[in-house]
Copies of this chain bind each other. A is one copy, B any other.
Amino acid sequence: MDWKDNIEWETLDSGELKALLADIPLADLLEDWDSFSDEEAIRIFIHLDPETKVDVINELSNTKQETLLTLLSERHLKQLMAEMEPDDVTDFLQEMSPEIRKSVWDNLSDELRTETLFLLRFDEDDAAGLMTPRYLAIRGNVSVHQALQFVRRNAEKVEAFYSVYVVDELQRLLGVISLQELLGAGDDTIVKDIMDTQFASVREDTDQEEAAQILETYDLTSLPVVNSHNKLLGVITFDDIIDVIREEHTEDTYKMGAMTGNAGRYLDTSIMGMVKKRVPWLVILLLLGTVTTTVLDHYQASFLGMSFLILFIPVITQTGGNSGNQASTLMIRGLATGELHTRDTGKVLIKEIAIGLIMGIVTGLVIVLRSWLMPPGVSLFEALVIGMSLSFVVIFATVIGALAPMVISKMGFDPTVMSGPLMSTVIDVCGLTIYFETARRLLNLG
């Protein structure tokens, strides 16, 4: 049973509602948010504590965000905005409708407005689009004691809290010192003597996925963003990087499902938006796939004489597609995680030939037994013809499935495009050729 089933929202007064909501975990609240009516949602929202309000609004879909922001009174909107971080406000302003954008903008404090204006200058897909301007920066000639006093005075308003950045008078980044190192050092130590000068940083126009990989490799809590003059512009925190990793995963998954990669929420996207995302690939693959009609037309004389061959066309294309898909999935994922490089192509090829041979023999034997012993039933010789053809198709598909992403990656393109659907289409064409050619030779057809 659900936590909210027993609650009669209407009968609770403000105090009771506040007390009740304070006990509900954020995750449960978010999980059930979509089931609230607009009236319930706004009533619940204004009774949340200020921090939870920010957490809730940042996690909602764009549609739900818009509804809430429209329904909030000016006073509540101002209070909410005062709690929000500038990078989240920037995302809001970039994604909302013009009316909401105006009312959000009108209710920002002067400080937040300046910070937001600064952030709006950058592209949201670049590293700079992820950064906060609320970080800790000091000069290198201060002592650890002075630095810690500065940290303590500013603790409440900082977002990127876990490292302190050392800059010169032109705001150029000279070094980084983690809070852990700072707290572990003696009070009289001078910061520039213990700061890290070999630190990771990214440029404002670095791709956000590259920023994610750097933060991961170095296990950082935050990553500084600098411009071409090495001037510190802002800092990216690990929680925004986790969002980038999830988004990247969604985009890869969509691409592997033969859709354009742009990761909008399903329920937020219109029907025509969804069609635009899906129809181009569907049509491209359809047109490529029609090459199979030419292949089949070419072998028509053969199979009309041996009509059992027709029965196994879908089995051949499907199994070929599956084995190619397995190999290409492994390569694409290996290349994406950096476990595989294009220079491993030779090793991969040898391994996949061996794997393809084994899987070809196994699937060949399975189809021989299945087609010989069970209905619709073909003769043993016919079953052997099917089995041998399938083996060849599986071996071929496995090797091509492994090679194609490696070659495409070597050519500098995104290997994700060679996954699933496109792979299957290519293998349909080649697989059917192998199938009919093998059968034709074994059966001595014309």
Residues of A in contact with B (beta carbons under 8 Å apart): 22-23, 25-27, 30-31, 34-35, 55, 59, 61, 148, 151-152, 155-156, 158, 161-162, 179-181, 183-184, 198, 200, 213-214, 216-219, 221, 238-239, 241-242, 245-246, 249-250, 252-254, 256-259, 265-267, 271, 274-275, 278-279, 281-283, 285-287, 289-290, 292-294, 296-297, 300, 303-304, 307, 310-315, 317-319, 321-323, 325-326, 328-334, 337-341, 343-344, 347-348, 351, 354-355, 358-359, 362-363, 366-367, 370-371, 374-376, 394, 419-421, 424-425, 428, 432
Contacts and interface: CB of A to CB of B under 8 A. Distances in A.
Nearest to A241: B242
30 contacts: A25-B200, A27-B213, A30-B217, A34-B341, A55-B218, A55-B219, A156-B180, A156-B184, A216-B246, A238-B242, A254-B333, A259-B330, A265-B334, A266-B331, A278-B359, A282-B362, A282-B394, A285-B319, A286-B315, A286-B319, A292-B315, A293-B311, A293-B371, A296-B310, A296-B311, A296-B314, A310-B313, A313-B313, A317-B318, A325-B420
A322 B281 contact: yes
A271 B310 contact: no
Considering the complex of A and B, which 4 residue pairs feature the smallest CB-CB distances, nearest first?
Answer: A257-B329, A155-B184, A297-B376, A292-B314
Contact of A366 (B55, B250, B278, B287): B287
Contacts of A282: 319, 322-323, 326, 359, 362-363, 394
B217 A285 contact: no
Contacts of A156: 180, 184
A250 B338 CA distance: 12
Contacts of A23: 198
Contacts of A312: 293
A257 B421 CA distance: 11
Contacts of A329: 253-254, 256-257, 259
A405 B24 CA distance: 30
Nearest to A350: B271
Given A156-B184, A257-B330, A278-B326, 12 more contacts: A59-B217, A238-B242, A253-B332, A259-B329, A279-B358, A283-B366, A285-B322, A296-B310, A313-B314, A314-B314, A420-B420, A424-B424
A214 B27 contact: yes
Given A155-B183, A266-B334, A257 B315 contact: no
A340 B425 CA distance: 30
A426 to B, nearest CB: 11
A245 B424 CA distance: 28
A220 to B, nearest CB: 8
A226 to B, nearest CB: 15
Contacts of A258: 322, 325-326
Nearest to A218: B26
Contact of A257 (B217, B250, B340, B420): B420
Nearest to A151: B183
B351 A279 contact: no
Contacts of A59: 217
B162 A339 contact: no
A314 B428 contact: yes
A274 B155 CA distance: 51
Contacts of A292: 311, 314-315, 318
A34 to B, nearest CB: 7
A259 B326 contact: yes
